[in-house]
Structure 1
Amino acid sequence: MQRMKQKHAISIVVGIILCSLLLLAFVYAEPTDSKNQREQTPTLFIHGYKGGPRSFQTMLQRMEHNNWAEKAMVIHVAPNGDIVFGGRLAKHHNPLIQVIFAEDKASIAQQTIWIEDILYRLKNIYEIDQVNIVGHSMGGLTATNTILQDSMNKEFPHVEKLVVIASPFKGIDKNNYFKVNKGNAAVDLRPHSQALTNMIQRKTYFPPSISVLAIAGVSNNYGTDGLVRLDSAMGIEAIVNEKQLKRKIFYNKRATHSGLHELEAVDQRIATFLWKNTLE
Structure 2
Amino acid sequence: MTKGWWVILLALITFGLAPQTVHASVQRQVPTLYLHGHHGGPNSMVPLMTAAQRADHATAVVTATVDGDGQVHLAGDWPVATHRPLIKVVFKNNRTLNYHRIADWLRNVIETLQSRYQITKFNIVAHSLGNAAVLFYELRYGDVPGLPKLQRYVAIAANFNGVPGVHHLRRQHHLGPDGRPPWFAPDFRRALRLRRHFPVNQVDVLNIYGNIGDGTYWDGKVLNVSSRSLKYLLGRRLRSYRTLPIYGPQAQHSLLRYNLEVAGATNHFLWP
Same fold (TM over 0.5): yes
- TM-score, L = length of structure 1: 0.79
Instruction: Give the superposition deviation at 1:25.
Output: 8.1
Letter in 2 for 1:145: F
Instruction: Give the counterpart of 2:227 among 220, 230, 233.
Output: 233
Question: Which residue in the other structure is 1:202 paired with?
Answer: 194
Q: Distance in 2 between matches of 1:35 and 1:216?
A: 38
Question: Which residue in the other structure is 2:173 paired with?
Answer: none
CA separation of 1:112 and 1:31: change in aligned 2, threshold 3 A: farther
- C-alpha contact 2:168 2:185 (8 A) present in aligned 1: no
1:129 maps to 2:129: no
Unaligned runs of 5+ in 1: 1-23, 179-190
- C-alpha contact 1:174 1:227 (8 A) present in aligned 2: no
Q: Any idea what the Cα deviations from partners look like across 1:134-176, whole Å, max 9, x if unmatched?
A: 1111111110111111112233211111111111111001359
CA separation of 1:246 and 1:196: change in aligned 2, threshold 3 A: same
Q: Any idea what the Cα deviations from partners look like across 1:182-212, whole Å, max 9, x if unmatched?
A: xxxxxxxxx8554332112222222222111
1:123 is paired with a residue whose SS is helix
- C-alpha contact 1:135 1:165 (8 A) present in aligned 2: yes
Q: Distance in 2 between matches of 1:82 and 1:58?
A: 26
Q: Which has the higher helix share?
A: 1
Letter in 2 for 1:66: A
1:140 maps to 2:112: no
- TM-score, L = length of structure 2: 0.81
Instruction: Give the superposition deviation at 1:26.
Output: 8.0
Instruction: Give the counterpart of 1:69 among 58, 62, 72.
Output: 58
Q: Distance in 2 between matches of 1:176 and 1:169?
A: 11
1:42 maps to 2:31: yes
2:56 is paired with a residue whose SS is coil
Mean CA deviation greater in 28-37 or 107-116: 28-37
Unaligned runs of 5+ in 2: 1-14, 170-182
Mean CA deviation greater in 234-243 or 218-227: 234-243
Question: Which residue in the other structure is 1:261 paired with?
Answer: 257
Question: Which residue in the other structure is 2:149 paired with?
Answer: 158
Q: Distance in 1 between matches of 2:92 and 2:25?
A: 30
- C-alpha contact 1:136 1:165 (8 A) present in aligned 2: yes
CA separation of 1:36 and 1:228: change in aligned 2, threshold 3 A: same
Question: Which residue in the other structure is 1:54 paired with?
Answer: 43
CA separation of 1:108 and 1:25: change in aligned 2, threshold 3 A: farther
Q: Any idea what the Cα deviations from partners look like across 1:218-244, whole Å, max 9, x if unmatched?
A: 013211100111111111112222562
- C-alpha contact 1:45 1:134 (8 A) present in aligned 2: yes
Instruction: Give the superposition deviation at 1:270.
Output: 0.6
Q: Distance in 2 between matches of 1:99 and 1:52?
A: 9
1:162 is paired with a residue whose SS is strand
2:83 is paired with a residue whose SS is coil
1:248 is paired with a residue whose SS is strand
CA separation of 1:25 and 1:117: change in aligned 2, threshold 3 A: farther
Instruction: Give the superposition deviation at 1:62.
Output: 2.0
RMSD: 2.6
**Identical positions, percent:** 24
1:163 is paired with a residue whose SS is strand
1:241 is paired with a residue whose SS is helix
- C-alpha contact 2:167 2:185 (8 A) present in aligned 1: no
Q: Distance in 1 between matches of 2:54 and 2:24?
A: 25
Q: Distance in 1 between matches of 2:113 and 2:23?
A: 17
Structure 1 or 2, whichever has the larger Rg, is: 1
Question: Which residue in the other structure is 1:275 paired with?
Answer: 271
Question: Which residue in the other structure is 1:9 paired with?
Answer: none
How many pairs align? 241
